[in-house]
Amino acid sequence: MPRLITLAIFLLPLFLLAATPQNDIRALLAMQEQAWNRADIDTFMTGYLDSPEITFQGGSGITRGYAAVTARYRKNYSNPAKMGRLKFTIDEVRLVTADTAVVLGGFALTRTKEAGGDASGRFSLVLVKTPKGWKIVHDHTS
């Protein structure tokens, strides 16, 4: 029993470090990256809050609402070749409040020339903590 208590005391800080909002948000973005690379837009979209209030701002303007953002992804990335291979780079995950965060980063999309060629750019995300975990409420990608 003393060994078990010693082990628990030793491991507790590791568990506490792993469960931070920043790590949870990084895990969400890793899940999105993996879903994208499987050409799974439905799972990718679970990173966004399912709400008519979310926004996506890109080169073609502002798209409002979960359904419209999903439709935008489906239209622009209609098959696995057009989706290509996605890699996120996370530069900063900053808590604004206990349940609001901003993420700054970049993306690189690798695709064949026939599928649109490689693309890369920058993004900023606003996320809120919900009962289902952290969710994106605003995505500005350029």
What tens digit of pLDDT does each residue of 39-97 get?
A: 999 999 999 999 999 999 999 999 999 999 999 999 999 999 999 999 999 999 999 99
| Cβ(86)–Cβ(113) below 8 Å | no
Is residue 97 classed exposed, middle or buried when 0-12, 13-18 and 19+ CB atoms within 10 A define those classes? Answer: exposed
Amino acid 9: pLDDT: 55
- Give the structural domain span for 128: 2-141
Length of the chain: 142
| Number of domains present in the structure of the chain | 1
Q: CA-to-CA distance for 76 and 123, rounded, in angstroms? A: 17
Letter string b/e over residues 12-49, b meaning 16 or more CB atoms within 10 A of that residue's CB: eeeeeeeeebeebbbebbeebbebbbeeeeeebbbbbb
122, containing H or E segment:
strand 119-130
Amino acid 104: pLDDT: 98
Which pLDDT tens digit goes with each residue over 25-54? 999 999 999 999 999 999 999 999 999 999
Question: Both ends of the chain: CA-CA distance in Å?
Answer: 56
Question: What's the pLDDT band for 19 if we cut at 50, 70, 90?
Answer: confident
CATH of the domain at 125: 3.10.450.50
